[in-house]
Amino acid sequence: MTYNKKLWEECANFHRHICPGLAIGFKAGEYIRKLWGVKASIDEEIVCVTENDACGVDAISYVLGCSLGKGNLIFRDRGKNAYSFFHRETSEAIRLVRKANTKGLSREESLEFYLKTDPEELFEIKKPHYELPPKAQFFSSSPCSKCEEITAEHRLRISDDKLYCLDCYDEYDRRW
């Protein structure tokens, strides 16, 4: 399979190095562009829920315009090469799970394999097991009673009638 070499070079420049992990995310992003006939998301039209924090996430950010700042890239740490994509305008949803394994190949061989292999061979297509996340929200902020840093209200906790950020809050937990 061919791939968009110009887009790959731009993606690698964005990420600042070339690696097999970047190629995995690149192929996932290219595949979604092909399946849905989309380009990079301007706002939150395309949402990606990534289950890892590896290099491929940068490729998805570049190729599909998904970013933490816009609220259309959501990190759901599961340690898997899996990405769920949602198209807000068409309600389409797809989960791509890496099935191809390059164990035993060199870094260069893995990179070439991921770039040249058809996405249908690289990924298992599944249905996401959760709904489309809501659009990003804006929250009021207040200072933490201890460190005095301004914190979004949904990340503040109350103790003794005072507001605390998550870093300063002394969480009560009786679980062992």
What's the pLDDT score for residue 104?
Answer: 95
What's the pLDDT score for residue 24?
Answer: 97
Cα gap 63→58, rounded to integer Å: 9
In this structure, what token pair is assigned to residue 37?
Answer: 């006939």
CATH topology of domain 138-176: Wheat Germ Agglutinin (Isolectin 2); domain 1 (3.30.60)
Structural domain boundaries of the chain?
Answer: 5-126, 138-176
What's the pLDDT score for residue 60?
Answer: 98
* The amino acid at 2: T
- Residues in CB range of 13: below 8 A, 6 or more apart: none
- Residues in CB range of 77: below 8 A, 6 or more apart: 51, 52, 53
Residues of the chain with pLDDT under 70: 1, 176
Q: Are 108 and 134 in contact (CB under 8 A)?
A: no
| pTM score, whole prediction | 0.87
What's the pLDDT score for residue 159?
Answer: 95
Q: Please report the beta strands in the chain, taking only residues with DSSP state E, as ranges in sequence order.
A: 46-50, 73-75, 82-87, 93-98, 123-126, 141-143, 150-152, 157-159, 162-164
User: CATH code for 5-126?
Assistant: 3.30.1330.130
Closest CA to 19 of 70, 56, 68: 56
